[in-house]
Structure 1
């Protein structure tokens, strides 16, 4: 009887999680896509502003090189002001982090964008920096963080339902079902992350070209990232980011689709 009751409770919890996820649908005004999100743009902005100081602290705070930091801000704002991004409600701010060892860049919801000194010093051109910042802007306008939060709530609800339905305190072996369910949920969210990265690459092609930067520089960025990883990233399926080599082919395709008649002349390298 207890087993049946737990199964019913788990089933109800799963149903509530699924209904909540599928009913929270909004159209992204920038991409035109239907998305499952359960927060407003204003909430995204507030969340990003709240998290920004803590994220900066994890990377040693802001970089002391004011000239380099200003260059990051200037290029970031060029991408915003010379594209449709300027029409979005997001207030973009670009930050150079003091960590000179870590190779990373990331965006918080709402428009707070960061790049580490460790990644910046590996770049060879403004166009490469524009490609990275354009990629992170893409995450923001595509509302990837809001999507990820909604998906995380869904998988948390489903894995919780599975744990309730399968766990038996008198049978320690039943814990395995909950562990497997949690692993499946984690892998699902990783897959979503890789799709987001590829979409941001495509958006970065649009943004860099609109601002007068050569989007082909993004392919060089992928090679830089691949070199920085030392080729030891492991199987792509178990990574949150796509293999840089695979992203190069996607970027090439995006450039061809965006510029079927060839790239404009005099693009900044």
Structure 2
């Protein structure tokens, strides 16, 4: 009886995992802006809706929007120029750029559908040797985040998380706890690898957008140096992180500059 119960559990677990894999594989398409085959389960309209509904909460987590309208206007002008002069305009995403009041967290990020944020902590670091704001560096940050949007990285990550959750649920039902735990470790490593690939692809797209819009892409390297300094000497090793090592990113950015210039 006990063996029969285990067999039934195993069949149910396999069925759950198979359904998750089937659903993931059936949603395949080629991204027209990257040429990469992707598995995505939501539409661009759904991405836009998710981004718009999440934007207020994300801004609130970083102290709200920055009150300086002049700084915000600079971000808007640079972001709009990057979109209008590149493949991003063809995407149909309603891009909006937000300068956050956060003066401690050096960061920038994009939500699905075109909502892009940069903290004042990072914005204030994007200066030349004389301390003046360097618009090419701002363009590097925004171009990278636009790359995440047109690369549909958030939507792709959602689909991978659904697949991972389905496979883990199947393992938990059909196998012993140790096997399920091992599957979770493997799944986490795979997701981190895909995260690093997304960052490198966004760097490449960022360089492409900068060149098309008349910005000097070498300043994206300066941005990487700022991020490297902000991470400090005790930053997480690349194999444990969703972000590539800054040195590897710089090497890839130099390759992209040679390719697009």
TM-score range, shorter chain: over 0.9
- Please list, as runs of the form range in 1=range in 2, the aligned pairs for 1:79-158 lying within 5 A after superposition: 79-124=82-127, 125-158=134-167
In structure 1, the residue corresponding to 2:139 is in which secondary structure? helix
Cα distance in 1 for residues equivalent to 2:182 and 2:107 = 31
Could you list the runs of 5+ residues in structure 2 that have no partner in the other structure?
128-133
Report what 1:170 is aligned to.
Answer: none
Report what 1:5 is aligned to.
Answer: 8
Could you list the runs of 5+ residues in structure 1 that have no partner in the other structure?
168-174, 260-269
Report what 1:190 is aligned to.
Answer: 192
Cα distance in 2 for residues equivalent to 1:55 and 1:245 = 29
Please state if 1:40 is matched with 2:40: no
Please state if 1:166 is matched with 2:168: no
Query: RMSD value over aligned CA atoms?
Result: 1.1
Cα distance in 1 for residues equivalent to 2:137 and 2:187 = 34
Cα distance in 1 for residues equivalent to 2:8 and 2:32 = 44
Report what 2:219 is aligned to.
Answer: 217
The correspondence for 2:52, drawn from 33, 43, 49, is 49
In structure 2, the residue corresponding to 1:96 is in which secondary structure? strand
Please state if 1:73 is matched with 2:76: yes
Q: CA deviation at 1:180?
A: 2.6
Cα distance in 2 for residues equivalent to 1:88 and 1:4 = 49
Count, aligned residues:
252
Cα distance in 2 for residues equivalent to 1:220 and 1:186 = 31
Q: CA deviation at 1:188?
A: 1.4
Cα distance in 1 for residues equivalent to 2:60 and 2:197 = 29
Summarize deviations over 1:213-244 as a string: whole Å, max 9, x none.
10000111111100000122121011111111
Cα distance in 2 for residues equivalent to 1:8 and 1:231 = 49
After TM superposition, which residue ranges in structure 1, 4 or more long, deviate above 3 angstroms?
A: none
In structure 2, the residue corresponding to 1:253 is in which secondary structure? helix
TM-score after normalising by structure 2: 0.94
Report what 2:203 is aligned to.
Answer: 201
TM-score after normalising by structure 1: 0.91
My pick for the range that moved more, 181-190 or 240-249, is: 181-190
Cα distance in 2 for residues equivalent to 1:199 and 1:145 = 13
Question: Is the Cα–Cα contact under 8 Å of residues 17 and 167 in structure 2 kept in the other structure?
Answer: yes
Summarize deviations over 1:85-111 as a string: whole Å, max 9, x none.
112210000000110000110000000
Question: Is the Cα–Cα contact under 8 Å of residues 105 and 132 in structure 1 kept in the other structure?
Answer: yes
Question: Is the Cα–Cα contact under 8 Å of residues 135 and 200 in structure 1 kept in the other structure?
Answer: yes
Report what 2:131 is aligned to.
Answer: none
Report what 2:248 is aligned to.
Answer: 246
Q: CA deviation at 1:50?
A: 0.7
Cα distance in 2 for residues equivalent to 1:258 and 1:177 = 47
